[in-house]
Amino acid sequence: MALKDLLVYVDQTENSFVRLRLAADLAIRHGSHLTALCVREWSREQLDWRKSAELGLVSAAGLHSLDQRVEASIDAAVEHLQSTLTALTREHGLQAELRAIDGVAAVVVPQYARYADLCILGRDEPQGPASVTYTFSEQLLFVTGRPMLFIPPQGSSATLGRHIAVAWNSSRPSARSLNDAMPLIERAERTTILMINPSGLIDSNAGPPGEQIVEHLKRHGAVADAIRVENVPHGEIAARLRAEAHALGADLIVAGAFGHPRLWEKMLGGVTHDLLAHMRQPVFMSY
């Protein structure tokens, strides 16, 4: 499957411009149409301002003035995003559009994500009024039915998907993510399969050896190799994956999302949560 429709979720934060540029680079290399989705929703900080003003018994005129300032700030952010996207479109011949939608991001973004081949977003997005202990990005991972590509707020490289590190343990989630990431893998300059504790997770099963997945990728035209890393404590697997990917110079990690669809807010897999919570490189996940 080719990546023909990319969706990048942007908001009022400066990190949105990092995501927008990386998404544009990916869209250019894949010949994709890029939709930048901005939900005109008040940020948590802006909602806190409103609540503080109400508790401080600010007059109706004062509240109205605050509301106008917030809406003007959102207008300015949308305008800045539009000018950035327009510049990228003109410079690279990119097919792209910005859609600014009124509503709640937790409702709007999943609907738009289902009309795209891949959704690109950040880790620390607004959680929305109905959130509890899980993040907005974790919600989307389990409710959209589409692969997600998470961009860290800081330290992201200037490229995306040129050298891919795949976390492989021959499980259903890792197989799903690898298959969904195949359009990226086929166009990558290099793909490295990272097998953490394969003697306990892969070799003990009745299936093929882990290295056979390299041959599968090569049949897709990928430039691929594999690395085995043994004796990693379970609580350190995510950190070791990040460290190995960083040492390789990988600019994207592909990993399966472990969790339970009906209880994911309480039972998100430990490695999945750690990879997202402490990202150093962008992370591609499917569920």
Indicate whether 158 belongs to any domain: no
* pTM over the 0.85 mark: yes
Which one of 151, 182, 215 terminates a domain? 151
pLDDT tens-place values along the chain, 287 residues long: 789 999 999 998 888 999 999 999 999 999 999 999 999 988 888 878 777 777 776 677 777 777 788 888 899 999 999 999 999 999 888 999 999 999 999 899 999 999 999 999 987 644 444 444 557 777 788 889 899 999 987 656 778 899 999 999 888 889 999 999 999 999 999 999 999 888 877 766 666 777 899 999 999 999 999 999 998 888 888 899 999 999 999 999 999 887 555 444 444 456 777 778 778 889 999 98
DSSP 249: T
Residue 39 belongs to what domain range?
Answer: 5-151
**Which helix H or strand E contains 244, and what residues bound it?**
helix 237-248
Question: Are residues 35 and 117 both part of a single domain?
Answer: yes
15/147 same-domain check: yes
String of DSSP letters for 131-200: --SS-HHHHHHHHSSS-EEEE-SSS--S-SSSEEEEE--S-HHHHHHHHHTHHHHHH-SEEEEEEESHHH
Phi, psi of 40 (to 5 degrees): -75, 70
Residues 34 and 132 in one domain: yes
216 plus 276 within the same structural domain: yes
Query: Are residue 78 and residue 19 in the same domain, yes or no?
Result: yes
The tally of domains found in the chain comes to 2
CA atoms within 13 A on the CB side of 255: 28
